[in-house]
Structure 1
């Protein structure tokens, strides 16, 4: 076997094959990099202009929820020590009505407002006392239900804003198909419009669902607080009927009217 001849042939093959392999490697497209999940800001940007009102709705709903959460604490509506404090004020005073009124003004709360309205009419005709207590109960219910309508409106409007963004996104996608003859063969050309459509729909639902849940939760809490308010006020006036006055006691049939869902303001 002629070893030098074999070596020379192998060297010749390697010399010819190396440039060809290099040329093939240059012609091959680079491997695509792995896709990364978009950030929250990228999702907002891809959603288009309709994401702006949806984001505003989310901020308003959050602010209302925090404010109502603080305002609807049970101890803020019916303070735990209010009845005991009123009992001490009435028991140690020569004029129980004036003492109770002074205590209510010093420690304001929905319970104190309702009691104050009835005691201010002590000694007057029964109709006036009943009217004063009913009006105070209605005012208390209105104050407790403030801004709940905002959550209800956001729960209804946010999905519609998302749907409107979906329509805009689909219009953009079909417009791209209409103006480009080869768009159907390149889905990336109109995928942006569909991406925008899906993003706004999801964003609208993500804002609306918590808003509806919070609205119903706060409504149930208000109804519970009004029952506690009515019970506490009625208990106090029955206990001190002799010290206050019969009209103020007899008028307490329903101090805090029940709040119906359709009347929430």
Structure 2
């Protein structure tokens, strides 16, 4: 029995679950690419910025960030652009506000992934209930004779397959969400630490 025949037997709930699995996979792939440390807080480039700051060359740091675009460099550029009077406190305040906006962009799609992990087994259960309703409907229709075996088989298939598909979608989505959330938490911590390092190396400013 082919995969597509199994999907057709699971009814519209099965097609819905397949759509959710595609959305879930797309989110996971996007986040894996987006959450690479080299695109967020490259350690070598952070060291270069600290070295430039050690010689009090803030302009050079900004130019370096403009030439090397990654998430931390974008935050630093925006922070210096909105800082007003340069000081460690002002920089940290500006950095924190802008970093929150950038982190919110990183989080985009994570809620949807968690929602898919939550509702997939519920949709599977709904499909099971609908399949059972079909089974009882066929049995009730067959009280005056033999129940239709094809309709009975279709109801049983829908009842079982939707539960299976719901779990197949939910389990990987839940695991992926937790792994990606841990990675995101680590990246947020690295961003915060980088902001503190930059602020501490603003020599000559209180």
Q: What's the TM-score bracket when you normalise by the shorter of the two chains?
A: 0.7 to 0.9
Task: State the aligned residue count.
Answer: 204
Deviation at 1:130? 4.1
Is the contact between residue 183 and residue 189 of structure 1 (CA under 8 Å) also seen in structure 2?
A: no
Deviation at 1:116? 2.6
Equivalent-residue separation in structure 1 for 2:75 and 2:95 (angstroms): 6
Equivalent-residue separation in structure 2 for 1:88 and 1:223 (angstroms): 27
Unaligned runs of 5+ in 2: none
Alignment RMSD:
2.4
Q: Paired residue for 1:64?
A: 27
Q: Paired residue for 1:153?
A: 115
Give yes or no for the alignment of 1:119 onto 2:48.
no
Is the contact between residue 90 and residue 97 of structure 1 (CA under 8 Å) also seen in structure 2?
A: yes
Equivalent-residue separation in structure 1 for 2:195 and 2:93 (angstroms): 16
Deviation at 1:80? 3.0
Q: Mapping of 1:186-205 within 5 angstroms?
A: 190-205=152-167
Is the contact between residue 135 and residue 155 of structure 2 (CA under 8 Å) also seen in structure 1?
A: yes
Q: Paired residue for 2:69?
A: 108
SS in 2 for 1:50: helix
Q: 1:231 to 1:130 in 2, by over 3 A?
A: closer
Equivalent-residue separation in structure 2 for 1:114 and 1:189 (angstroms): 61
Unaligned runs of 5+ in 1: 1-37, 248-265
Give yes or no for the alignment of 1:220 onto 2:182.
yes
Equivalent-residue separation in structure 1 for 2:69 and 2:11 (angstroms): 48
User: Which has the greater radius of gyration?
Assistant: 1
Deviation at 1:210? 1.0
Give yes or no for the alignment of 1:163 onto 2:125.
yes
The structure 1 residue matched to 2:94, chosen from 132, 142, 158, is 132
Q: Paired residue for 1:235?
A: 197
Is the contact between residue 114 and residue 137 of structure 1 (CA under 8 Å) also seen in structure 2?
A: yes
Q: Paired residue for 1:246?
A: 205
Is the contact between residue 46 and residue 196 of structure 1 (CA under 8 Å) also seen in structure 2?
A: yes
- Normalising by structure 2, we get a TM-score of 0.87
Deviation at 1:231? 2.1
The structure 1 residue matched to 2:142, chosen from 180, 183, 186, is 180
- Structure number with the bigger relative contact order (C-alpha 8 A, sep ≥ 6) is 2
- Normalising by structure 1, we get a TM-score of 0.69
Deviation at 1:179? 0.9
